[in-house]
Structures are given as structure tokens and as C-alpha cells.
Chains A and B, each alone.
Chain A
Amino acid sequence: MIALLLILIPLLSGIVTFLIKKEEGARTWSLLSAIATFVVAIIGFTCYSNTAALSFKAPWMGILNSSFSLSADGMGAMLCMLTAISFPLIFVSTWNTIYKKAHNFLGLMLLAQAGLMGVFLAMDALLFYFFWELALIPVYFICSQWGGERRIKITFKFFIYTFIGSLLMLVGILYIYSKTNSFDIAAFYNSNLPLKEQMWIFWLFFLAFAIKMPVFPFHTWQPDAYEQSPTAATMVLSGIMVKMGVLGLLRWLLPVLPLASFSWGDTVSTMAVIGIVYASLIAFQQDDMKRLVAYSSIAHIGLMCLAVFAENKSALQGTMIQMFSHGINILGMWIIVEIIERKFGTRKMSELGGIAKKAPALTIFFFIIAFANIALPLTNAFIGEFLMFNGILGVNPQISKYGLPLAVTAGLGIILGAVYTLKMARKVFLGETNHLTEQGTDIAFHEKAILGIIAVTIIVAGVYPQPLLHSFEEITNSILNKSDVLHLLKPKH
């Protein structure tokens, strides 16, 4: 029931938002809806730990053997939680940003939220595909309507990219369905396709996820899209939507096609590592803050992809906690970029400087988030990255022989990450003020409140991650069990 509510609340209130023509009313209504979703999520995931309360199943499309089946396992619950936290924060932080026809904007945002919740909860391949597309359509409209100057072309590129990916995934889903005759996730887990078939179906699924995450070399849509989208949409795209790809890998790829995931593991890991280093190098060159954060996001996601294919407990747990941390951190990053752009009218680092003198509170929050971005100890990202590196280094030599070189190269990317993040901090916040930043004022109370929530989350999760890690325990083990290829590869005598 909780699972159903998480989708229904944003869906219905989103439709209602379209009808509220008054801007103030629409904003209040959408914020209330987002808070309601958040409350339901909090109550649902803390008070009810039994699966019966967290799942929902109803017949749907009986002729296709597809059912409307939702369930929140540890990973799904965490991502729903992330979505539920993010939306109120996004709505409050963009409260003063002016949108033409705000009610349409907010309505579409809520529809996107419903789609995202669906993706994280769907336990039926067809339903998963439906939500996968549904999350995309509102974002497409938001970005092409309210984005920057080149928005139409850029968003379209993004849309076509992801649409090709998801159609290929549909072929993959259909192929497995033609063997299992059911879209249920359990049937998919039991499909046991022969290696030869897995080898090419793997790419149908992986392309969809790789484009969404994005993994090098399928990332070319991403920096442009992040830059041109309105910041609220960028937050959704980078904070939550990229997690759809990682979730896809963990829930729909590794356990469904274990043999192929094992066989292609090194190829994919190499792509991920190239992506980490490449994105970090480019991020280093950027002058636009939005583009810098966008490239740094590619590097972080690349690391998650690398860890997933290490296929051990430490790496998977690290990936899951990092999904949450990355969502929170990048959200904070965007909020700060949005505030700076609104206050000073530019995102170019070369035109800014000395903000620390004018806006000390903003600077403190920025540094906390920046430290989290470079995974300093005591921040949430440290836990995730430590676990992931631990997993990659300790990868079972039967799964991959290249654990050490991969980890070292990826580590290089992380060092570069520290360099460019601190470079941004220096250029924007430190130094002398110039004519643009001279008139700067500090942030308002509601902005302090949001950034405060984010900073507290960063530190709490960094100091005491045990409850989070504990909630991933079960799902990690079950993924590892299903994707354990080593017992399949053992000689059968």
C-alpha cells in the first residue's frame, strides 16, 4: 500500500497542479504534495519493515502475463527515500525562481516524481519499462519549455538518445519474455538463458542503462542537457534520474544475465574507468560551474558502474550508499550553483570571486558539500567510495584479474576530482571581490534551512552509516546470490 501511495500522491496531485492557475497556489500545493510523499515514505520505511506493507500487486494486462506489481526492497526504498527528500528541497530552493506558467512546470515535475518512484518500485519488466519512459516524458517537456537558449536541440538529443536505449531494452525484455512467458521479475531471475544469448542481450539492456547513467562513451548528451535545463530539472536529472541506470544494472542486469555480466565485466569496467579519467580531465578545463558539476557527476557515476561489476559485497554496498550520497551531494551543489546564478547573474568561474567575504553562510555550506564531493572522511561520500574501492581492489581474481590497475586508475580520477572541486572553491569563493560580487548578500533563511538539512544529512550519514548499510544487507546478498557465476563455472565432475 505504501508503495502504491508513493506513486499515486505525486501522480494525482501533479494532474491537479495543472488546473491551479494561480502561481502562489500551485507552488504551495506542489510543495504540500511533495511533503506528503516524504512523510509517507518516512513512515513507510521506518515503521513497516515487513514486505507485505511495502508491496502491492494487482492484475494488469492479464493477456500478456504482466501484473501491476510494486515492491520496495532495501535498494528501492533507499532510492524512493532519496526521491522523496529531494523534491521538497527542490521546490523550496527554487521558490523564488520565476517560471512562466509555473503551474505547468510544477505539474510536470510531480509527474516526473511519480514516474521515478515507479521505476524504483516496479517488480514487473513491462511495468518497469512503462515507468522508465514515463519518467522521461515530463522531463523532456520541462527542459524544452523552460531551459536555456539552445534547449530545444539539446533536450531533443537527450530524448532521442535515451529513447533508443530504452527501445533496445524493450527488445531485450521481449526476448526474455518469449522464453519465460511472464514479465514477473522472479521469472526473469529464473530465465537461465544460455551464454550465447546472454552475450548479446546484455548489450540491449546495458545500452539503455549506460545512456541513462551515463557511462563513457554514451555520455555526450549529458553536460549539454545539464547546462541547458532549468536548474530544478537538472537536479532531478542528475540527483535521481541517473540512479535509474545504476538501479537497472543492479536489479535487472546482474541477476538476470549473470553469465554475460561476468563475461563482459572487464569490457564495461574499462569503459567506466576511461570515463572517470576522461570526465575528470574535462571537468578540470571547465569555466561554467554547471558543466563542471556535470562532468564530475560522470566521474562519480563511472565509479559506481565500475564497482557494480566487481560483484562483491563491499562494492555493492558501497554503490548503494553512494547512490544516496551522490544524490544528496549533487543536489546541494546545484542548489548553490542556482543561488549564485540568481544572485550574480553568471555561472562563469572566471567572472566570480570573493563570495566568501559577502556570503559566509553560503560559503560554509559550499565547503561542506565540496568536501563531500571529494569524499573527505566524515562525509557520506567517503563511506561509499571507501567501500567501493575496497570492493574493486578485493575483487575475486576469478571475476576480474584487473582489480588493482582499475582501482588505481579510478583513484587517479578521484584525485583529479579533488583538484577541480577545490579549484572551483578557490575561484568562486576565495580571492578578491570584483564588480559583480561586490554587491552580494548572504542567503535567505529558507535557503539556509535547505542547505542545513543537506549538510546535516551529509555529516550524519558520514559519521554513522550503519543503519543505511544494514538496510542494504539483504538486497546485496540476494543480488550476489543470483549473480554468482562462480558455482556455474565450476567444472561439473
Chain B
Amino acid sequence: MNALVLSAIFGVVMMFSGVLFKKNAAIKTTGIVAMILLFLANCMEMRGIRLFQFDVSGFLAFDSYALFFNAIAIFATLVYLLITSNQMEKVGRNFADYLALIFFIIAGITITTSFKSLLTLFLGIEIISIPLYILTGSDKKNLKSNEAALKYFLMGSFSTGIMLMGIALIYGSQGTFTIDKMSFTLAAKSNLHIAGMLFLLFAMSFKASVAPFHFWTPDVYDGAPTVFTSFMATIVKAAVFAGFVRLFGGAFGKLEDTWSIWVAIMIAATLFVGNITAVFQQSVKRMLSYSSIAQAGFLLFGVYAMNDAAREGLLIYSAAYCLATIGIFAVLSKMTDYSFEGFNGLAKHQPVLAFTTTICLLSLAGIPLTAGFLGKFYMLKAAIMTGHHLWLVIFAVVMAAVSVYYYFRVIQAMYFKEGPVQSVTATRFEKYTLIAVCALIILLGIFPGTFLGWLYF
């Protein structure tokens, strides 16, 4: 509740900060301070201190899982702002508006992670999506950015329509929007709620860019300004998965037999499409788009398995994935050449950036001692615990091995190939932040218990 209300207020504050302050530096400082306050407010709520008291019992439930997820999302956004806000200024003139939109997206995320009624889920997803459409098109003079925004908007609206249809069908069969009041039974299977459930499955899959609903992803991620791609591909995607798990665990948990095979097939398709296509990319940015599809396949294990390991795994996976991808995008957004060759010889000219990128890539590839390994570990563990569809687990690890191919191409380019001197610059502060991110990735990989302990306060 703290985070929801405050993020909405801070969003408005940021909008006006553009009028009040003439200098971008002041706006940036305001934004970062506001994000820190937001994080603290969320942590206070985790300890039971509520700043606001409204009765939202039918619509939202801020349980410890949701709060923990919000904490991850807000923290990741804070890191994101610290590393990339310099780049964000260069996108266009409306710097304050971008920050405002990001705060609104956080508000959407807090709703999505803690919804209790299908209506609030819809609201949350829309509050996330609409600012994203704007951010995608924020590079106004760039045709690719415009195209991406239009494409994203059209496809997004379409999937929103399907989602509403699904909600309507569910309401028709159950007579309620509240997820824990729904009483599905396998015996009384009605076509109405099966259809509704599938519509919701497809709509959520679209938002999470799960195959075969992923076709918008590469174009939109490629066309959007790199700084915003980074935000879209990480924090937003993870939040959609948190909502996904909540929806299918809460509302449709009893129907698991009907949808689990669908989800299993979608996992296989997502892993396959994401990994195999990423292998053939020539641009690192497009490779990361496909890799984000591939990572969505692993995140989807959280929906598929629906047990404690899956819930914990989703948290670790989200944190690991967000941190690592933000770290890579931070370096990428400073490059002039996005192709693999553009990274040639980076280790010589910018050893710190090359090193941090390597740690992030190792984490994405799931090498032990990084957080990414534990994320994959938990997801596989969760899937094995369910006891069926073991082929899926073996398929997933083979695909993980494929992913090593394209992640390591970047490492090879940076360390083992010669390249021209590049004009990549990073401030001292950005470098320290990146090193801190890497330290966090490794600490999370060695001592996950300390991190997950927060969940059980």
C-alpha cells in the first residue's frame, strides 16, 4: 500500500519537477531520492508499518510475497536509474516525463503483484502498458522508435481486448471477480470458464512475451530507445510474471490439470524460439531481445510448477535476471556500434565495463556462483518436484547450454578479439554502481538464504 500510493504521488511530483527545475541534474536527483524513499516505504511495510490505511480488501492484498516482489522491482529500478539516467537524458527533451512514467509503471507493478480481483489485475496491467507505449516511442524523430511504439500499441490493445473477454467469461461462469472466491472444480468443468481461463493465459503470455505470442518483442525491444528496452525487458517482464503466478496459482490452481500441459508446451516453444533465434543474431541488442524471450521460458516454470520452490525461484530468478540484464544494457547503451564486432577489444580499453558485463553474462548463462545459476536451479528444482514432464527439464538444460553460445560470443569479442579504440565512456560513479551490481549478483549466488530469509519475516 505504501509503495502504491507513494509511487503515484511521486509520479505526479516528477511531472511537475520538469516545470520547476530547469536543470536535468536537479530532476535526476529528485527522481533518485524519490525512488529511494519509495524503496524505504516498501521495506517499512514489510516490517508492518503502514503509512496509509484504506479498505481495499476485496481488490488488493499486500501479502509478504507481493511486498517482497515490489521491493525487488523498486530496488532494480533504483539501480537502473543510477546507472542509466545519464543515457536517458539523451533520448529526448522530456526527461522529467520519462521519470514520471517510470513511477507510474511502478504503481502498475505494485497493483499487478498484489491484485485480488480480476479487475485490479486488468487495471495493473494497463497502468504498466500505457506508459510503456509512450516510452517506446519517446525517440520521436527516429522512425524505428515510432514504428515500434505503434506496433506495440496495436498488438498490446488487441491482447488487452482478449484479456477483458477472458475476464468477462470467467465472471459469467463464477459471478465474481475476486480470485479466492472462485470455486472451480474439475468435476463441473464448464466450457465458459475453460475458455475464459485460456483467454487470460494467452493475454498474460502476450504481455510476458511467451511464444507463440512473442512476435512483437524483438521489433519493439530493438526499436525502443535502449535505456527503455532495458526497463521493459527486465522489471516489467518480471512483474508480469509475478501477476501471472498469482493469477494461475490463486484463481485457477484447482484446474492445474487442464492448463499445465499448455504451459509446458509454451515453455518448450519459448525456450526453443528464444534460444535458437538468438544464436543467429548479429546485433547484441537484438540478441538480448531474444535472450529475454528465452529467459521468459525459464520464468514460466514458475507458473508451471506452482509450488514453494517455484515461488522462491521466481523471486531469485527475477532479481538475478533484472540485475544482470540492466548491467549489460547499461554498457550497451553507451556503445555506438550494437553489433558483436562493436564489442571487440572492449576489455583493453574499458576493463571495468568488460569485467562487469562478463559477470552479468555469466549470470544470465547460469554459471554457478552467480545469482543466475540459483534462479535456474530453483526453477529446475521446482519442475522436478512436480514429478511429471521430465523431458521438459532436460530440454530446458539443453537450451540453457545453447544460450551459452550467444552469451559467450560477447565475452569472446571483448576479451579475445582485437578491436579499434572506442569512445565508450563511463563516469566513475557508474562504474562503482556496476561493480556493486556484480558483487550483489555473486553474493546472491553464494548466500541465497540471506536474501530469501526476508520472505519469511
Known: A133-B367, A156-B408, A178-B384. A163 touches B401 (CB 8 A): yes
- What are 14 A-B pairs at a CB distance below 8 A? A61-B448, A61-B449, A62-B449, A63-B312, A63-B449, A64-B448, A137-B367, A152-B416, A167-B398, A168-B397, A170-B380, A171-B394, A174-B377, A174-B381
Assuming A62-B449, A171-B397, is B404 touching A134 (CB within 8 A)? no
Residues from chain A with Cβ under 8 Å of B394 in the complex = 168, 171, 204
A175 and B416 in contact, given A130-B368, A170-B397 (Cβ under 8 angstroms): no
Q: Is the CB of B368 within 8 A of A134?
A: yes
Chain B residues lying within 8 Å of A43, measured Cβ to Cβ, are none
Q: Is B400 an interface residue (CB 8 A)?
A: yes
Pair B368/A159 contact, Cβ less than 8 Å: no
Asked if B381 and A178 sit within 8 Å, CB to CB, the answer is yes
In the complex, which residues 138-169 of chain A have their Cβ closer than 8 Å to any Cβ of chain B?
141, 144-145, 151-152, 156, 159-160, 163-164, 167-168
1/0 contact string of B381-416 vs chain A (CB within 8 Å): 100110100100110011011001100100010011
Query: In whole angstroms, what is the CA distance A204 to B448 when docked?
Result: 26
B61: Cβ under 8 A from any A Cβ: no
Mark B residues whose CB is within 8 Å of A.
312, 362, 367-369, 377, 380-381, 384-385, 387, 390, 393-394, 397-398, 400-401, 404-405, 408, 412, 415-417, 447-449, 452
CB distance from B449 to the nearest CB of A (A): 5
- Encode A56-70 as 1/0 by CB contact (under 8 A) with B: 000001111000000
A149 to chain B, nearest CB (A): 12
Bound Cα distance A200, B312 (Å) = 28
Q: What is the CA–CA distance of A204 and B384 in the complex, to the nearest angstrom?
A: 14
Report whether B368 and A171 are in contact in the complex, using a CB–CB cutoff of 8 Å. no
Contact B415 A174 (CB under 8 A): no
Would A144 and B412 count as touching, CB distance under 8 A? yes
The contact string, 1 if C-beta is below 8 Å from chain B, for chain A 169-185, is 01100110110000000
The answer on a CB contact under 8 Å between B401 and A164 is yes
Q: How far is the CB of A426 from chain B (nearest CB, A)?
A: 39
How far in angstroms is the closest Cβ of chain B from A390? 39
Max chain A C-beta neighbours (<10 A), residue from B362, B416, B449: B416
CB of A129 within 8 Å of the partner chain = yes
Contacts A133-B367, A164-B398, A167-B400 given; does A145 touch B381 at CB 8 Å: no
* A174 to B449 CA separation, bound complex (whole angstroms): 18
Q: Which of A62, A134, A145, A152 has the most CB of B within 10 A?
A: A152
A63 to B311, alpha carbons, bound, how many Å?
14
Number of interface residues of A (CB under 8 A): 28
In the complex, the answer to whether A167 meets B397 with C-beta atoms within 8 Å is yes
State whether A175 and B367 are in contact (beta carbons under 8 Å apart), knowing that A163-B401, A170-B397 are contacts in the complex.
no
A364 → B minimal CB distance (Å): 40
Residues of B within 8 A of A152 (CB): 412, 416-417
Q: A459 to B411: give the CA distance in the assembly, Å.
A: 45
Q: How many A-B residue pairs lie within 8 Å, measured between CB atoms?
A: 69
Give residues in A with beta carbon < 8 Å to B.
61-64, 129-130, 133-134, 137, 141, 144-145, 151-152, 156, 159-160, 163-164, 167-168, 170-171, 174-175, 177-178, 204
Q: Which 10 A-B pairs have the closest CB atoms?
A: A167-B397, A164-B401, A133-B368, A130-B368, A178-B384, A63-B449, A174-B384, A144-B416, A163-B401, A152-B416
- Min distance, Cβ B220 to any Cβ of chain A, angstroms: 31
Residues of A within 8 A of B408 (CB): 156, 159
Docked Cα-Cα span, A141 to B411, in Å, equals: 10
A438 to chain B, nearest CB (A): 37
* List of B residues within 8 angstroms of A141 by Cβ: 415
Asked whether A145 lies within 8 Å of B416 as measured between CB atoms, the reply is yes
Q: Which residues of the partner chain A approach B384 to less than 8 Å between Cβ atoms?
A: 171, 174-175, 178
A61 to B369, CA, bound (A): 12
Give the residues in chain B near A167, CB-CB below 8 Å: 397-398, 400-401
Residues of B within 8 A of A151 (CB): 416
Which residues on the B side are within 8 Å of A171 (C-beta)?
Answer: 380, 384, 393-394, 397
Nearest-neighbour CB distance to chain B for A108, whole angstroms, equals 12
Q: A147: nearest residue on chain B (CB-CB)?
A: B416
Q: Which residue of A lies closest to B358 (CB)?
A: A141
CA A167 to CA B384, docked complex, whole Å: 14
Report A-chain residues with C-beta under 8 Å of the C-beta of B377.
170, 174
CA A231 – CA B384 in complex, angstroms? 42
Alpha-carbon separation in the docked complex, A156 to B412 (Å): 9
Nearest to B366 among chain A residues (CB) is A167
Q: How far is the CA of A64 from the CA of B394 in the complex (A)?
A: 21
- List the B side residues contacting A134 at CB < 8 Å: 368-369
Distance in Å: Cβ of B64 to nearest Cβ of chain A: 16
The residues of B that contact A145 with a CB separation of less than 8 Å are 415-416
Contact partners of B312 in chain A: CB under 8 A: 63
Complexed CA–CA distance, A129 and B448 (Å): 17
Q: Which residues of A contact B387 (CB under 8 A)?
A: 178
Chain B residue nearest to A133 (CB atoms) is B368
Q: Which residues of chain A are within 8 angstroms of B404 by Cβ–Cβ distance?
A: 159-160, 163
Which B residues are CB-close (under 8 A) to A133? Answer: 367-369
The smallest beta-carbon distance between A59 and chain B, in angstroms, is 9
Q: Which residues of A contact B367 (CB under 8 A)?
A: 133, 137
Q: How far is the CA of A433 from the CA of B381 in the complex (A)?
A: 63
Among B387, B397, B404, B405, chain A packs the most CB atoms within 10 A around the CB of: B397
Residues from chain A with a CB closer than 8 A to the CB of B447 are 61
Shortest Cβ distance from residue A143 to the other chain B in the assembled complex, whole angstroms = 10
Q: Nearest Cβ in chain A — how far from B341, in angstroms?
A: 14
Report yes or no: A177 in contact with B449, Cβ–Cβ below 8 A.
Answer: no
CA distance A175 to B369 in the complex (A): 21
- Once the chains are docked, how many angstroms separate the CA of A168 from the CA of B397? 7
Chain B residue numbers with a CB within 8 Å of A164 are 397-398, 401
A170 to B396, CA, bound (A): 12
Q: Is the Cβ of B380 less than 8 Å from the Cβ of A130? A: no
Shortest C-beta distance, A349 to chain B (Å), equals 30
- Looking across the interface, which residue of chain A has its beta carbon closest to that of B412? A152
Q: Report A-chain residues with C-beta under 8 Å of the C-beta of B397.
A: 164, 167-168, 170-171
Report chain B residues within 8 Å CB of A175: 384, 390
**Separation of A134 and B442 alpha carbons in the complex (Å):** 13
| C-alpha spacing A339/B377, complex, angstroms | 45
Q: Among B381, B385, B405, find the residue whose CB has the most chain A CB atoms closer than 10 A.
A: B381
Contact of A178 with B393 in the complex, beta carbons under 8 Å: no
Q: Could you tell me the distance between the alpha carbons of A413 and B452 in the complex, rounded to whole angstroms?
A: 55
Shortest distance from the beta carbon of B308 to any chain A beta carbon, whole Å = 10
A177 touches B381 (CB 8 A): yes
Which partner residue on chain A sits nearest B387 by CB separation?
A: A178
**Closest CB-CB distance, A409 to chain B, in whole Å?**
33
Chain B residues with CB below 8 A from A61, complex form: 447-449
In the complex, A164→B397 CA distance in Å? 7
* Residue of chain A at shortest CB distance from B401: A164
What CA separation (Å) do A151 and B417 show in the bound complex? 11
A152 to B401, CA, bound (A): 17
B405 contacts across to A, CB distance below 8 A = 156, 160
**How far apart are A459's CB and chain B's nearest CB, in angstroms?**
41
Q: Using Cβ atoms and an 8 Å threshold, which residues of chain B touch A177? A: 381
Distance of A383 Cα from B81 Cα, bound (Å): 66
CA distance in complex: A134, B367 (Å): 9
A437 to B230 alpha-carbon distance, docked (Å): 60
Q: Once the chains bind, are A130 and B369 in contact (CB under 8 Å)?
A: yes
